[in-house]
Structure 1
Amino acid sequence: MSQQDSDARATSAANTCEIVERRVGAVTVIEVSGTVDMITSPQLEAALTSAMTGAPQAIVVDLSAVTFLASTGMGVLIAAHDKLPATTPLAVVADGPATSRPLDLIGFADVLNMRPTLDEALSAVTS
């Protein structure tokens, strides 16, 4: 294997994002893992758009397993927040330097109803 092939595989692996959507009662939970950057943020946008069409009671985006959150990913979260009806709350699970720190530094933590755990996020959107 050439160095170029090895570098291409490393770049591809670094830009991996996995998204799983599930329901917890009437709440849609979008679990995200890996890297959310310019390359993978369209996946998150598509998942949020799909979740919104189902008219959930609320949406929780769980970033607990995200290892890198770029500004494009944060922009997708803000855009989703802005598109949701006022009656459909959104919460984001983020705890750690890769997710909560950038969201907090930019001032998005309060806007996105950031919580450190999934249980706390679910409580926040259902109470």
Structure 2
Amino acid sequence: MAEEPVPDSGQAGQRGGLSVVTTAIDGVRVLHLTGEIDHHTCEPLQQALNTLTADRPRVVVDMSRVTFMDSSGINTLIVAYENVTAANGWIRIAAPTTPVLRVLQLVRVDDLITCYPDLSQALAP
């Protein structure tokens, strides 16, 4: 798998506890998140998801370094799911940590957005 930076996306710096780094791997946009996702920190994630412009976007959200997520993160993911599927694309979650997976399962977002145990499985066709 070839990994390349996505032009004009770069890195959304650390803002109140969440960092979002965007790359592209074999044509799939990968958002690598680090930190906590809550009302005060979800803006970088929203911005990264709002810049999806491809016809049939393919997105993987790598949550292997996310330590906390509240309803703001859930809402952001649901809006992204709606936007991406409306454009005939897909979105997947890779490697959610145990506390994040628990939240995703509790509100059944994992029924909407498929969760994979690691990034390589989420990137598989």
Compute the TM-score of the two structures, normalised by the length of structure 2: 0.81
Q: Structure 1, residues 27-61: CA drift from partner, whole Å, max 9, x if none?
A: 000000101100111111001111x1244641000
Which structure has the bigger radius of gyration?
A: 1
* 1:94 to partner: Cα distance: 3.6
Distance in 1 between residues matched to 2:57 and 2:49, nearest whole Å: 14
Moved over 6 A (4+): none
Partner of 1:16: 17
Who is 1:93 aligned against?
94
Give the 5 Å matches for 1:3-82: 15-50=16-51, 52-55=52-55, 57-82=57-82
Alpha carbons 1:27, 1:56 under 8 Å: kept: no
Unmatched tracts of structure 2, length 5 or more: 1-13
SS of 2:33 mapped into structure 1 = strand
| Structure 1 partner of 2:9 | none
Question: Aligned pair count?
Answer: 111
Task: From the two aligned structures, give the one with the greater helix fraction.
Answer: 1
Q: Distance in 2 between matches of 1:55 and 1:16?
A: 32
How far residue 95 of structure 1 moved from its aligned partner, in angstroms, is 3.3
Q: Which has the higher strand share?
A: 2
Shift of the 56–22 alpha-carbon distance from structure 1 to 2, 3 Å rule, reads farther
What fraction of aligned residue pairs are identical, expressed as a percent? Answer: 29
| Separation in structure 2 between the aligned mates of residue 16 and residue 61 of structure 1, nearest angstrom | 17
Q: Tell me, what secondary structure is at the counterpart of 1:87?
A: coil
Amino acid at match of 1:43: P
Could you tell me which runs of 5 or more consecutive residues in structure 1 were left unpaired when the two chains were aligned: 1-12
